[in-house]
């Protein structure tokens, strides 16, 4: 049969070599563009291992680009050169090429070499990521709907929204979440970890530049997901120590009594609109957003008490605003359903005056 005869000479068409030269030039120009592309100045750079990861990305882009350029280029070229012509008899099919061992050898060997280089390259970077420079400073990053909590070894209270780190100090971050899946992406570090309730994952890196960098949640975690961002503040050792000292004294001042009588409902309404409406509406208890509706706290016969079990007066409200709450809905008995996490004073960034105002506002709603 014809297809088992000696391989016929394959006609590549009239423009094959000029097209190949053109594609090679295009490939070289784009590859040069990838090599000189200013990742660091465009996307920012916080320190190792970002440079390694950029290098890996450049390598992958160059290989991927070459495949794209030649495959698409020849696809277009051959479809034009060997297109169906008016003079072709009806039902004609193209030339069938079989058994080209040389070609098959090359299209196996070259990709195998590329994949091998990629494997060695990326495993090396991955290994660096796992055990970079020990852990001089160990911290925790915890995802919440919808903010980040950070813990430091010498600090009793957590810190929210700003993740302070000393420059040049290798840091280990244990990453987890309390409620749903979140993620902890440091774009200027080129690293990311999913934040999974019940699972602790470790990230290690060394911030090398003083400045402010992004933390972004990249896992859809609820209605306010798009606002779930925080900042890495890389600062000098002295500034970092000052930050720790300030946090420690702020934590000591927390829980100080709030002057409830000074609460102003009108101001409280404004604060509520800024800080609470992501999770609470002012309908009845059952009108849940993330937390329950707060419009009838003091006059709902089905919920005579707060979820904390306290009376729904200014004092009980102020208490849950200070301490936060997560646990059974005690107005439903000891084993009531847990509704989620009510963030504490620090997480909601509330001053004592804010708490007094908010309590006054919420109490006033029930009087309407
Ligand atoms: C991230 C979402 C979230 C934010 C932001 C939030 N809360 Fe809550 N809040 C909750 C959840 C969830 C509960 C229920 C907790 C439970 O039952 O375990 C709750 C409970 C409460 C309760 C008790 C309600 C009851 O019927 O017992 C009050 C009062 C309250 N929040 C006020 C506020 C105020 C005021 C703000 C703004 C400063 C605020 N919350 C911000 C989620 C939130
Ligand atoms: Cu999130």
> Which of 253, 270, 288 is the last residue before a domain boundary?
253
- 249 and 266 part of one domain: no
* Poorest-pLDDT segment among 66-75, 130-139, 305-314: 130-139
Closest ligand by atom to 324 CA: 1
Q: How confident is the model at residue 256 (pLDDT cuts 50, 70, 90)?
A: low
- What pLDDT score does 110 carry? 92
Task: Take atom 34 of ligand 1 and give the residue whose Cα is closest.
Answer: 276
Please choose, from the candidates 155, 165, 158, the residue with its C-alpha nearest in 3D space to the C-alpha of residue 135: 165
- Per-residue burial over 189-223, b if 16 or more Cβ lie within 10 Å, else e, is bbbebbbbeeeeeebbbbbeeeeebbbebebebbe
CB atoms closer than 10 angstroms to residue 34:
16
Quick check: CB of 319 below 6 Å from ligand 1?
Answer: no
Share of residues in the chain with pLDDT > 70 (%):
94
**What is the CA(68)–ligand 2 centre distance, in A?**
35
Residue 89 inside a domain? The answer is no
Which domain range does residue 355 map to? Answer: 260-365
Mean pLDDT of 204-216: 91
> Which of 203, 220, 253 is the last residue before a domain boundary?
253
146 or 79, greater pLDDT = 79
Task: Take atom 1 of ligand 1 and give the residue whose Cα is closest.
Answer: 145
**Can you name the residues that pair with 212 across neighbouring β-strands?**
233
Task: Take atom 5 of ligand 1 and give the residue whose Cα is closest.
Answer: 276
Task: Take atom 36 of ligand 1 and give the residue whose Cα is closest.
Answer: 276
Cα angle 325, 352, 322 (rounded to 5 degrees) comes to 10
Residue 239 inside a domain? The answer is yes
**pLDDT above 80: residue 80:** yes
**What is the CA(280)–ligand 1 centre distance, in A?**
7
Residue 155 inside a domain? The answer is yes
pLDDT averaged over every residue in the chain: 86
Quick check: CB of 294 below 6 Å from ligand 1?
Answer: yes
- 54 and 70 part of one domain: yes
- 36 and 120 part of one domain: yes
Please choose, from the candidates 274, 307, 259, 285, the residue with its C-alpha nearest in 3D space to the C-alpha of residue 366: 285
Tokens describing residue 353: 């005056």
The Cα–Cα gap between 206 and 86 comes to: 67
CA 55 to chain centre: 22
- Contact criterion met (CB below 8 Å) for 56 and 129: no
Residue 88 inside a domain? The answer is no
**What is the CA(67)–ligand 1 centre distance, in A?**
54
- 117 and 186 part of one domain: no
Ligand 1 atom closest to the Cα of residue 306 is 27
- 61 and 106 part of one domain: yes
**What is the CA(344)–ligand 1 centre distance, in A?**
9
- What pLDDT score does 7 carry? 53
- Contact criterion met (CB below 8 Å) for 326 and 342: yes
- Contact criterion met (CB below 8 Å) for 129 and 204: yes
**What is the CA(321)–ligand 1 centre distance, in A?**
8
Quick check: CB of 348 below 6 Å from ligand 1?
Answer: yes
Q: How confident is the model at residue 278 (pLDDT cuts 50, 70, 90)?
A: confident
- 282 and 355 part of one domain: yes
Ligand 1 atom closest to the Cα of residue 326 is 18
First to last CA, the chain: 94
Residue 303 inside a domain? The answer is yes
- What pLDDT score does 16 carry? 92
Tokens describing residue 187: 């774009």
Q: How many distinct structural domains can be found in the chain?
A: 3
- What pLDDT score does 132 carry? 57
- 271 and 175 part of one domain: no
CATH of the domain at 150: 2.60.40.420
CB-based burial label for 350 (10 Å; 0-12, 13-18, 19+): buried
In tens, the pLDDT along 333-348 reads: 777 777 778 888 877 8
Cα angle 26, 27, 28 (rounded to 5 degrees) comes to 90
- 51 and 123 part of one domain: yes
Closest ligand by atom to 219 CA: 2
Ligand 1 atom closest to the Cα of residue 350 is 38
Mean pLDDT of 176-180: 90
The Cα–Cα gap between 63 and 246 comes to: 51
- 150 and 216 part of one domain: yes
Quick check: CB of 317 below 6 Å from ligand 1?
Answer: yes
DSSP state of 197: B
Quick check: CB of 292 below 6 Å from ligand 1?
Answer: yes
Residue 92 inside a domain? The answer is no
Mean pLDDT of 142-168: 88
- 267 and 292 part of one domain: yes
Quick check: CB of 339 below 6 Å from ligand 1?
Answer: yes
The Cα–Cα gap between 127 and 311 comes to: 55
The Cα–Cα gap between 221 and 225 comes to: 5
* Poorest-pLDDT segment among 1-15, 44-58, 306-320: 1-15
> Which of 220, 253, 286 is the last residue before a domain boundary?
253
Mean pLDDT of 293-300: 87
Quick check: CB of 325 below 6 Å from ligand 1?
Answer: yes
Tokens describing residue 254: 């927390």
The Cα–Cα gap between 158 and 152 comes to: 7
Ligand 1 atom closest to the Cα of residue 278 is 5
Mean pLDDT of 139-151: 90
- 67 and 155 part of one domain: no
- 352 and 303 part of one domain: yes
Residue 9 inside a domain? The answer is no
In tens, the pLDDT along 225-242 reads: 998 999 999 999 999 999
Residue 11 inside a domain? The answer is no
CATH of the domain at 281: 1.10.760.10
Quick check: CB of 341 below 6 Å from ligand 1?
Answer: yes
The Cα–Cα gap between 341 and 181 comes to: 14
294 or 302, greater pLDDT = 294
Q: Residue 21, CB half-sphere, CA atoms under 13 Å: how many?
A: 3
- Contact criterion met (CB below 8 Å) for 355 and 259: no
The Cα–Cα gap between 108 and 88 comes to: 35
CB atoms closer than 10 angstroms to residue 297:
23
> Judging by DSSP bridges, how do beta strands 229-235 and 162-166 pair with one another?
parallel
Cis peptide before 146 (omega within 30 of 0): yes
- What pLDDT score does 299 carry? 83
């Amino acid at each position: 049969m014809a297809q088992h005869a000696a391989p016929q000479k394959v006609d590549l068409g009239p423009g094959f070599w000029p097209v190949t030269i053109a594609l090679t030039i295009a490939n070289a120009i784009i590859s040069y563009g990838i090599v000189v592309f200013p990742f660091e100045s465009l996307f920012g750079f916080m320190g190792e291992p970002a440079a390694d990861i950029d290098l890996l990305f450049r390598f992958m882009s160059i290989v991927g680009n070459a495949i794209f350029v030649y495959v698409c280029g020849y696809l277009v070229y051959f479809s034009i050169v060997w297109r169906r012509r008016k003079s072709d008899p009806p039902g004609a099919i193209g030339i069938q090429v079989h058994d080209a061992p040389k070609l098959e050898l090359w299209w196996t060997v070259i990709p195998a070499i590329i994949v091998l280089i990629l494997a060695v390259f990326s495993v090396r970077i991955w290994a660096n990521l796992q055990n970079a420079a020990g852990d001089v400073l160990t911290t925790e990053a915890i995802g919440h709907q919808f903010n980040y909590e950070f813990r430091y070894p010498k600090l009793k209270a957590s810190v929210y929204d700003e993740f302070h780190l000393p420059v040049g100090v290798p840091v280990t971050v244990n990453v987890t979440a309390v409620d749903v899946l979140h993620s902890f992406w440091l774009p200027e570090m080129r690293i990311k970890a999913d934040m999974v309730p019940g699972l602790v994952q470790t990230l290690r890196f060394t911030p090398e530049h003083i400045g402010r960098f992004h933390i972004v949640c990249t896992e859809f975690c609820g209605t306010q997901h798009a606002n779930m961002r925080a900042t890495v503040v890389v600062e000098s050792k002295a500034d970092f120590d000052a930050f720790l000292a300030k946090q420690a004294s702020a934590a000591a001042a927390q829980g100080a009594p709030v002057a409830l009588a000074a609460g102003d409902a009108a101001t409280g309404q404004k604060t509520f609109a800024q800080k609470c409406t992501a999770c609470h509406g002012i309908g009845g208890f059952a009108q849940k957003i993330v937390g329950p509706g707060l419009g009838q706290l003091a006059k709902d016969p089905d919920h005579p008490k707060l979820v904390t079990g306290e009376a729904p007066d200014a004092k009980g409200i102020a208490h849950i605003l200070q301490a936060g709450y997560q646990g059974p809905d005690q107005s439903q008995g000891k084993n009531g359903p847990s509704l989620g996490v009510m963030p504490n004073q620090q997480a909601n960034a509330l001053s004592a005056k804010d708490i007094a105002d908010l309590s006054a506002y919420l109490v006033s709603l029930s009087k309407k």
